[in-house]
Amino acid sequence: MTDVVVAGAAGRMGSRIVACLGEARELRLVAALEAPSHPALGRDAGETAGVGRLGVALASDAAAALVRDRVLIEFSTPEASLQHLRLAAASGARAVIGTTGFTPKQREEISDLAKKAAIVLAPNFSVGVTVALQALALMAQALGDEYDVEISEIHHRFKKDAPSGTALRMAEVIAAALGRDLGTVAVYGRQGLPGERTKKEIGIFSLRSGDVVGEHTVSFGTLGERLELVHKAHNRDTFARGALRAARFVTTQPPGLYSMQDVLGF
Residue 25 pLDDT > 90: no
- For helices 127-143 and 165-178, what crossing angle results, to 10°? 30
Do residues 189 and 207 lie in contact, with contact meaning Cβ atoms separated by under 8 Å? Answer: no
pLDDT at 171: 98
Pairing of strands 148-155, 94-97: unpaired
- Mean local confidence (pLDDT), 194-204: 95
Superfamily for the 2-121+236-264 domain: NAD(P)-binding Rossmann-like Domain (3.40.50.720)
Handedness of CA 61, 66, 71, 72 (dihedral sign): positive
Q: Across all residues in the chain, what is the average pLDDT?
A: 96
Residue 266 pLDDT > 90: no
Strand partners, 217: 152, 230
* Per-residue pLDDT reduced to its tens digit, 145-197: 999 999 999 999 999 899 999 999 999 999 999 999 999 999 999 999 999 99
* Per-residue pLDDT reduced to its tens digit, 206-244: 999 999 999 999 999 999 999 999 999 999 999 999 999
Superfamily for the 127-233 domain: Dihydrodipicolinate Reductase; domain 2 (3.30.360.10)
Q: Which of 155, 156, 200, 232 is catalytic?
A: 155
Do residues 53 and 44 lie in contact, with contact meaning Cβ atoms separated by under 8 Å? Answer: yes
Q: Is 116 considered catalytic here?
A: no
Burial 96-129 (b: 16+ CB within 10 A, else e): bbbbbbbeeebeeebeebbeebbbbbbbbbbbeb
Q: Which of 196, 200, 194 lies closest to 179 in space, CA to CA?
A: 200
Report the predicted TM-score, pTM, of the whole model to 2 decimal places: 0.83
Q: What is the dihedral of CA 174, 180, 186, 187, to 10 degrees?
A: -100
3-state secondary structure of 21: helix
Residues of CATH 3.40.50.720 domain(s) within the chain?
2-121+236-264
Q: Which of 84, 115, 116, 159 is catalytic?
A: 159
Residues of CATH 3.30.360.10 domain(s) within the chain?
127-233
Do residues 148 and 197 lie in contact, with contact meaning Cβ atoms separated by under 8 Å? Answer: yes
Residue 247 pLDDT > 90: yes
Q: Is 159 considered catalytic here?
A: yes
